[in-house]
Chain A
Amino acid sequence: MTYEEAEKELTQIVERLERGDAGLDEALKLWERGEELYRFCTAQLEAAEGKIEELSKRASDAGTTR
């Protein structure tokens, strides 16, 4: 699951819950799923460590570059 997918599903769950017409079981399941998605998104943000990687330059790249 990507961050984007998780965020989208979370938004849909919030909208569904905000309509207030969900059954009790369903509402609880939605809430649990929503919390799970929230934790996933937060973890994604916290786990990501800024990183700059250089791809090894190819031999053919030698020459005048700018």
Chain B
Amino acid sequence: MKLEPIVYGDRKVYTVAAFNRGIAQWLQRLPTIWVEGEVTELRRQAGWQTVFFTLKDPETGACLSAAMPRGQFDALRLELANGERVHVYGRPELWTQKGELRLRALSIERFGIGEHLAALERLKAKLAAEGLFADGRKRPLPRLPRRIGLVTGNDAAAKRDVLTAVQARFPPARVVVAETLVQGSRAAAAMVAALASVAAEPEVDVIVLARGGGGFEDLLPFSEERLVRAVAGCPVPVVTAVGHEQDTPLCDLAADRRASTPTAAGRLVVPDLDELIADLGRSRDALARGARRVLERHSQRLGRARERLAHAPALLLERRRAALAQTAGRLNALSPRATLERGYAIVRREGELVRSAARVASGDAIAVEVADGSFGARVE
């Protein structure tokens, strides 16, 4: 088909449609060739006659749109998934309505596992060897963070889920949010910066890095080395809530805690306020009880001491009495009374003891003392 330009004086001008058509015709002259790349953004929908996907160059990220009639695609029975490396046999064509170049696929062959997966495995092994994922590096989360950092994309869901969970459990929570890119080639750098800016905020004691789901491709920034290192090196504990069970992004392995969903992450970082208040009340009761117990113990000890003190004088008296009785016994043993009781008598003359017969003369009055009394007598 010949393309006729419109002529304005000395200028030949083509309409957009004519231009596109011309390019399309020219492209048809190119040979049919094989192209290697990773399948991403695979769209195979029930109502559509054509299956669309993007071929991505794993090294440079260069992309090429591709399309294949749905019947042909299904007949290949490849059950392709995003991230798989393929060889596509086809030729370039221009979608004239949009002026977009794409590869018209005539055949597709699977070609090994995605380079991304292999690269991820290599990075994972390297970081694991460095000990970045070691259990010993995991820090405990604070029981009650003064402020919580939240790094998330600006999608409503992940952010809202974290905030809702946090506020439901602990209404007085203070959260500082940094929205950032979480997808695309600049996402990792942006997240590293957001993480640093939140960590630099005063009183931030824990950080949540959340993203609400996404395909394998979408989660790749969360496995980039610089983000993984930033998570591991963050000055405060990091909780990640990214991705799915099957493809664990590497930042999950480096995080101090991994949550399955943004909601779970929110619950992890704050205590339950009601429980906290109940705990405090119990502590206070125990405190009072403990203090009372010590007081009672001391009071009992004091009581016993007082009792012993009260008994002390009587005890002393008893002891004295016994000592006195003993002394009295000894005194008694020495007294002449016992001698008198054996029949001896004491004789006095004018009050003086008579120790010799020569001391008395006939007619002298003497006093005689015997055991049970005394009487007077006269010497003959």
Seen from chain A, the residues whose Cβ lies within 8 Å of a Cβ on chain B are: 2-4, 7, 10-11, 13-14, 16-18, 20, 22, 24, 27-28, 30-31, 34-35, 38, 41-42, 44-45, 48-55, 57-58, 60-61, 63-66
Contacts and interface: CB of A to CB of B under 8 A. Distances in A.
A63 B284 CA distance: 53
Contact of B173 (A17, A50, A66): A50
B161 to A, nearest CB: 14
A43 to B, nearest CB: 11
Contacts of A18: 286, 289-290, 293
The size class of the interface chain B forms with chain A is 35 or more
5 contacts: A2-B144, A14-B286, A17-B293, A38-B287, A65-B181
A63 B186 contact: yes
Nearest to B297: A20
Contacts of B179: 54, 57, 61, 65
Given A50-B173, A51-B175, A66-B154, A14 B144 contact: no
A53 B178 CA distance: 9
B110 interface: no
Contacts of A11: 283
Interface stretch (B13-21, B193-201, B240-248, B315-323): B193-201
B167 interface: yes
A65 B183 contact: yes
Contacts of B176: 53-55
Contact of B198 (A27, A50, A55, A66): A55
Contact of B291 (A31, A38, A50): A31
B193 A53 contact: no
Given A55-B178, A61-B181, A48 B172 contact: yes
Interface string B188-226: 001001100110010000000001001000100000000
Contact of B171 (A10, A17, A50, A58): A50
Contact of B183 (A14, A45, A52, A64): A64
A41 B155 CA distance: 36
B214 to A, nearest CB: 7
Contacts of B287: 10, 13-14, 17, 31, 34-35, 38
Given A3-B143, A65-B154, A52 B290 contact: no
Contacts of B280: 7, 38, 41-42, 45
B262 interface: no
Contacts of A49: 172, 174
Nearest to A32: B291
B177 interface: yes
A44 B298 CA distance: 35
A-B pairs with lowest CB-CB distance, top 3: A17-B290, A48-B172, A27-B294
A29 B214 CA distance: 57
A24 B153 CA distance: 58
Given A2-B146, A63-B181, A66-B218, A50 B172 contact: yes
Contacts of B171: 50
A54 B177 contact: yes
Interface string B269-294: 00001001101100110111111011
A16 B294 CA distance: 10
Given A18-B286, A65-B181, A45 B174 contact: no
A18 B182 CA distance: 52
Nearest to B180: A61
Given A16-B290, A27-B290, A55-B197, 11 more contacts: A2-B144, A14-B283, A18-B290, A18-B293, A31-B291, A42-B280, A48-B173, A50-B174, A53-B175, A53-B176, A58-B190
